[in-house]
Structure 1
Amino acid sequence: MADFSYHQQSQSTQPSFRFRYRDDPHQQTLCTQVAKAATAVTTGGSLLVLAALILTGTVISLTVVTPLFIIFSPVLVPAVIAVVLLNLGFLVSGGFCVMAITVLAWIYGYVTGKHPPGADQLDSARHMLLNKAREIKDYGLTQQISGGAQTY
């Protein structure tokens, strides 16, 4: 927070404005420091008591529920496994759906000529395969013309 104070200088007719910070520790009064300390102690103590109550409640509820978990574990364990597998299945199917949409969008961009990322690599691989196929075809034709391929 900033505080502007107005001071009239005795020799000059112009008023001067002095800028001072309220949070400056050198200019804080003892009352302000005591109020800040009391607020911090009260807030910290309240939060500490609340944390202790939550910890106590957690320990008590865990000791009460543990025998129930042990008794019903033949039913609970398969149920938890089934729920986990169902959730995992939904997540995987959603991931495959997103991947399929991404691939279809890439193919659409490639077919329409928008040159998506990786199109250069695909084109060079296609040209390499076409060249190899042409070499194999030419090799087969020359073998046919020269008298056939020899088999061992």
Structure 2
Amino acid sequence: MSTTEHLKQQAQHMKERIQEQAPNQRQLIGAVTIMTIIVLLTTVGGLLMGGLALGAAVLTPVFLFFSPVLVPVGTVLFIGIAGLLSAAGFTLAGFSSVRWLYQYFKGRHPVGSDKVDAAKNCIVDTASQLKERASVYVHGAQENVQRAKDQTVAAAT
């Protein structure tokens, strides 16, 4: 086999491999679509940044001129809105708590009622243990008082 034929075979083999790995029409359309979207988003982003810079340059002197009025108004609005939102949040929390308590006392077992029952049992157990300790302590103290009384009576006679 001559060198020319060998080179032709290698070229043919390379051409077949390139055609196998070449993207199909669907992949090509997808890539073009993605590139178009990227270019469009970059253009829109650039226009927005330019508009923001232009707006800031135009509105900064206006804000500086009206700032003695705008700052107190903004502060009052901020505090008022924060107060209203806080009141709404606390009201919602209160209604939720009352609803949960209503369901709990009606025996409907709302979420978390098992933990409340476990805590109640723990408190009852602790109270009974403290009651037992207190009765032992009081009984011991009464015995000590009686012994001291007996010793005082014995010492007095």
TM range, smaller chain: 0.5 to 0.7
Matched, 1:86 2:74: no
Q: Indicate the residue corresponding to 1:21 in structure 2.
A: none
**Which string of whole-angstrom CA distances, capped at 9 and with x for unpartnered residues, describes residues 34-68 of structure 1?**
x5555444443333222222111110110110011
Between Structure 1 and Structure 2, which shows a larger proportion of strand residues? Answer: 1
Amino acid in the other structure paired with 1:77: V
State, as a whole percentage, how many aligned pairs show the same letter.
23
Amino acid in the other structure paired with 1:119: D
When residues 113 and 46 of structure 1 are mapped into structure 2, their CA distance, relative to the original with a 3 A threshold, is closer
Distance 1:122 1:54 in 2: 60
Distance 1:120 1:80 in 2: 50
> Which among 119, 122, 138 is matched to residue 121 of structure 1?
119
Structure 1 length-normalised TM: 0.55
Amino acid in the other structure paired with 2:123: A
Runs (5+) with no aligned partner, structure 1 = 1-23, 147-152
The aligned runs of 1:1-152 (5 Å cut-off) are 26=22, 28=24, 33=28, 38-115=32-109, 116=113, 117-125=115-123, 128=126, 135=134
**Which string of whole-angstrom CA distances, capped at 9 and with x for unpartnered residues, describes residues 104-136 of structure 1?**
123223322345241331353356458768959
When residues 67 and 113 of structure 1 are mapped into structure 2, their CA distance, relative to the original with a 3 A threshold, is same
Amino acid in the other structure paired with 1:65: L
Q: Relative contact order: is structure 1 or structure 2 higher (C-alpha 8 Å, sep ≥ 6)?
A: 1
How many residues in Structure 1 have an aligned counterpart in Structure 2? 117
Runs (5+) with no aligned partner, structure 2 = 1-19, 146-157
Distance 2:35 2:107 in 1: 68
Runs of 4 or more above 6 Å deviation: none
